[in-house]
Amino acid sequence: KREKHNGKRRNGDRQENKRENQRRKRSSKSVQGIREESQSKTERRERSRRRKGKAEHETSGHEGNKRERDQTRAKSTKSKKNIKNEKTRKLEGKEDGEAQEKSEKGKLKLVCTKNEEKIESGDQLKEKEKALGVKKKKKRRKKVVETSSEPETSEDGDDEEEVNNDGEVRPELLSPEELEKLKEAVDEKKKLIQSLRGKPWPMKQKLVTLRESQLFVEKYEGALGKGKGRKLYAYKVMMTKKWMKFQRDFENFKTACIPWEMKIKEIESHFGSSVASYFIFLRWMYGINMILFSLTFGLVMVPEALMGRPYGSIPRKTVPRAEEAGAMDFAVLWDFGGYAQYSVLFYGYYNNQRAIGWFKFRMPLSYFLVGVGTVAYSYMVVIRTMARNANESGIGDDNSFNFSWKMFTSWDYLIGNPETADNKFASITTSFKEAILEEQESRKDDNIHLTRFLRVLANFLVLCCLAGSGYLIYFVVRRSQKFALDGLENHTWWERNEVNMVMSLLGMFCPMLFDVISTLENYHPRVALQWQLGRIFALFLGNLYTFIIALMDAINLKRKEEKVVKYNITMWEATLYNGTGSENSTAPPITIHPADVPRGPCWETMVGQEFVRLIISDTMTTYITLLIGDFLRAVLVRFLNHCWCWDLEAGFPSYSEFDVSGNVLGLIFNQGMIWMGAFYAPCLPALNLLRLHVSMYLQCWAVMCCNVPQERVFKASGSNNFYMAMLLVILFLSTLPAIYTIVTIPPSFDCGPFSGKNRMFDVIQETLESDFPAWFSKVFSYASNPGLVLPFILLMVLAIYYLQSTSKSYKEANVELKKKLQMQNEENKKKNKQAALKAQMDLEEAKKSASQTAEHQRNNNDSVQRQEGENAKIYMTR
């Protein structure tokens, strides 16, 4: 579309130039007189053509802006000059009514333009047009009195002249009838432009026609108005052009504003859309985390930091005496103990004060609502995106025209790198080969058992692997519990971090093994990717749930400990007060430093800490794998290749490929952990945001610098929704434990915003009772009455059922329609074939009959001859 506009603009320019030329000509006319003009007409025509060409070159070189300015200037000067010209002409006074002449010319012009149209449609009409041109010339000669013979005027010249004459048509001097005609002509031209695409003409002719009619329309559309309208028109044209330019710039600006768009496009051009889909997914994830982060940061962390009690005011906000020594260690950075633990970053720091600050910010309520809100928002976004994607991807993917699909849709048009294009080319050819082989095999139907067996075997191996890794994690978790009972201090760093290490290592290496095993199965890479994703999903899920089960055990341990501590504290307080009471009753109340107050083990903070540690170790493993597995390998391969006995780049270690499935799943599970842990550690979204930001740049860099395009590049058109579906499952699975802990386990008694309550969601009850008017809580209690809730849920279920069944029926109807279409197509084909066959038969018959008649004649002749010959023979024998 944009190009079209450009073309238009250029046309406009050309037209301007023509006008200018003509103006020059006219001025020369007035000076030199007409006699000379007619004699040197042809010559000048040529010159003008040359000049025009030059001008075109010049203008095309100019910037658009300048062009526009020139144009406007030209227009304004032109109108002035026209008037001047007229005056000079009238002064010359050679002819009688010049206006009449002009109107005549205008009429002629109309006819001519109509003819022009027709020239294009048929060669025969050309002659007619020529004749018209001659006629016109004759008339003109009559008028101009001067009669100079001018037999050699080429058609081109004629056209040129017509164009030159265009400018002389002065619409303000036309009669209404002619105006009407002009209008009609313009309308016709417009129609022509619209219907041009469907015309069965050669391209060149189409282009020429298009350009000419556009010129015509542009020229006369505005001219239809009166003198004032012209100016307005010029202004309008200028403004539309400026507006167009602005729109284009704005469009560019918009793409520049999309974060990382250019980077992703570059990667897409080098690695195909499957790799790019990962980065688009990453960006989408970043957006979601941005919102989660702004929610937790703006509504929980900042208010607590600004308006809540300061650090050190109450026990839960101070580092206990025992930990003070190591509270500023360097290890705090990745262990998140010490000062980091006793800060807004974790659940335990928050106070259960109902309202904080000067405008009574309801902290516990806000904490709870943000926790629920982030999850609800995530659900909403994921489901909405899924629905949108489902609409898009619901059309294709049927196997009925396998080869046609392959033929016409297998190229990835976003590839802009020769190497990738080579790979794509190779992969398309191999896919064709494979498809042909498959087709043959499906006809032979013998090898299917082997592939089935191999697939079953592969799945069995994968299951074994999964079971093994699950058992290993279980074993490690049990051991770590033993260590925890012994006390962590007397174990090495390796043993303390065993669980995280083993989980990360298994998560890293098992997918490789799956990948190797999946070569047995011989699936299409897109299907293989989905299987791979499913397997890694199972692995990660197993790992995650073992981790959660271990965490649950730890929570139970902590709660037992808490009970003991609670008892001890009451005893401690009693002894404290009793002691002081007995000693001196008038003494001021004892002030104990909050760091010395005994406190319970805050299980919520422990959970949050575990998640934060897991995220950090996960991130570290990802980055280290990236650096070692990709970067170091690439460096080694690149620089050792000069002094190695085989080709490292093409052969054995080679460069690594980008692992789409592993990375996508890493991202998804990372997000799952964020959702799970964000309630107990409000800093998690912030950390995740940081991680995603860094990994965006790091991975973009790593992909471009040390990976090679996949050998089988394939389109990732259908995989986006697969990612989304997995994300939804993970979201559900990660909210389950979080909801379970919130609903079933009572919060710790001395830390967090819900301390002292029986359950965390009691906050809502409390708020309803104290902050809202009585009628509201009454309404709420009525509304939450099971008698009302149950019918409502029933209604919802019914609605869902209804919607689902309607969508199903729609889908069925779609399938039916598709079938019908196909049938119709086939029928049409058959009909056509039959018609063709019939025509062929007829033709053959006709031919045959013709040849038969010919043969008949010949036969006759032959027989005559033969007879004669026979006769002769007979005669001879006789």
Partner 1 sequence: MVSPAIALAFLPLLLTLIIRYRYYFVLFYRAVLVRIWKDCVTGLSREERAFQYVLTNSTPGDPDSILDAFDYWCSKVEFISNIGPKKGKILDRLLMEQSPLTVLELGAHCGYSTVRIARALPLGARLYSIEMDQGNAAIAEKIIRLAGFDDDTVELIVNPSDEVIPRLRSDYNLERLDFVFMDHWKKCYLPDLQLLEGYGLLGKGSMIVADNVLFPGAPKFLRYLRKCGLYEWKIHRATLEYSRGIRDGMAELIYQGIK
- Note the residues at the interface with partner 1 (CB under 8 A): 465, 469, 472, 475-476, 479, 492, 494-495, 498, 501-502, 505-506, 509-510, 512-513, 515-517, 641, 645-647, 649-652
Distance CA 578, CA 858 (A): 143
Identify residue 855 by its one-letter amino acid code.
E
Residue 246 or 652: the one with the smaller Cβ distance to partner 1 is 652
Residue 339 or 432: the one with the smaller Cβ distance to partner 1 is 432
Using CA atoms, how far residue 9 sits from 1, 2, 53, 232, 242, in Å, is 12, 11, 16, 18, 11
Distance CA 714, CA 273 (A): 7
Distance CA 340, CA 684 (A): 13
Distance CA 239, CA 262 (A): 31
Distance CA 176, CA 184 (A): 12
CB of 712 to partner 1, least distance (A): 14
CB 675 within 8 A of CB 375: yes
CB 678 within 8 A of CB 372: no
Locus of tokens 């509201």: 776
Residue 519 or 851: the one with the smaller Cβ distance to partner 1 is 519
Residue 543 or 695: the one with the smaller Cβ distance to partner 1 is 543
CB of 848 to partner 1, least distance (A): 46
CB of 455 to partner 1, least distance (A): 17
CB of 710 to partner 1, least distance (A): 16
Distance CA 626, CA 300 (A): 35
Residue 516 or 872: the one with the smaller Cβ distance to partner 1 is 516
Locus of tokens 């030159």: 164
CB of 449 to partner 1, least distance (A): 22
CB of 113 to partner 1, least distance (A): 51
CB of 493 to partner 1, least distance (A): 10
Distance CA 547, CA 135 (A): 97
Helix (H) or strand (E) holding 401: none
Quick one: 785 exposed, middle or buried, by C-beta within 10 A (0-12, 13-18, 19+)? exposed
What residues contact 803, with CB distance under 8 A and at least 6 apart?
none
CB of 196 to partner 1, least distance (A): 43
CB of 646 to partner 1, least distance (A): 4
CB of 204 to partner 1, least distance (A): 32
CB of 473 to partner 1, least distance (A): 9
Find residue 173's DSSP bridge partners.
none
Residue 505 or 576: the one with the smaller Cβ distance to partner 1 is 505
CA-nearest of 511, 507, 515, 517 to 546 is 507
Using CA atoms, how far residue 66 sits from 59, 238, 811, in Å, is 9, 12, 56
Distance CA 36, CA 534 (A): 88
Helices (H), 707-758: 719-744
Residue 286 or 514: the one with the smaller Cβ distance to partner 1 is 514
Four-point Cα dihedral 855, 861, 866, 868, nearest 10? 170
CB of 482 to partner 1, least distance (A): 12
Instruction: Compute the Cα dihedral for 581, 583, 588, 594 and give only its sign.
Output: negative
Using CA atoms, how far residue 372 sits from 279, 735, 757, 761, in Å, is 28, 10, 18, 10
CB of 511 to partner 1, least distance (A): 9
Distance CA 34, CA 309 (A): 99
Residue 83 or 650: the one with the smaller Cβ distance to partner 1 is 650
What residues contact 507, with CB distance under 8 A and at least 6 apart?
539, 540, 543, 618, 621, 666
Structure tokens at 89: 């002409």
Helix (H) or strand (E) holding 387: helix 363-393
CB of 520 to partner 1, least distance (A): 10
Distance CA 497, CA 784 (A): 46
Residue 55 or 510: the one with the smaller Cβ distance to partner 1 is 510
Residue 469 or 720: the one with the smaller Cβ distance to partner 1 is 469
CA within 13 Å, CB half, 182 = 27
Structure tokens at 17: 């130039």
What residues contact 729, with CB distance under 8 A and at least 6 apart?
537
Residue 83 or 645: the one with the smaller Cβ distance to partner 1 is 645
Distance CA 657, CA 278 (A): 14
Structure tokens at 67: 């062009």
CB of 509 to partner 1, least distance (A): 4
Residue 510 or 760: the one with the smaller Cβ distance to partner 1 is 510
Distance CA 368, CA 604 (A): 14
Using CA atoms, how far residue 672 sits from 268, 384, 540, 611, 706, in Å, is 27, 18, 11, 11, 29
CB 105 within 8 A of CB 54: no
Distance CA 823, CA 309 (A): 76
Residue 465 or 725: the one with the smaller Cβ distance to partner 1 is 465
CB of 510 to partner 1, least distance (A): 5
CB 701 within 8 A of CB 273: no
Distance CA 562, CA 570 (A): 12
Residue 632 or 796: the one with the smaller Cβ distance to partner 1 is 632
CB of 418 to partner 1, least distance (A): 10
Residue 160 or 630: the one with the smaller Cβ distance to partner 1 is 630
Residue 532 or 720: the one with the smaller Cβ distance to partner 1 is 532
Residue 243 or 425: the one with the smaller Cβ distance to partner 1 is 425
CB of 865 to partner 1, least distance (A): 54
Residue 486 or 816: the one with the smaller Cβ distance to partner 1 is 486
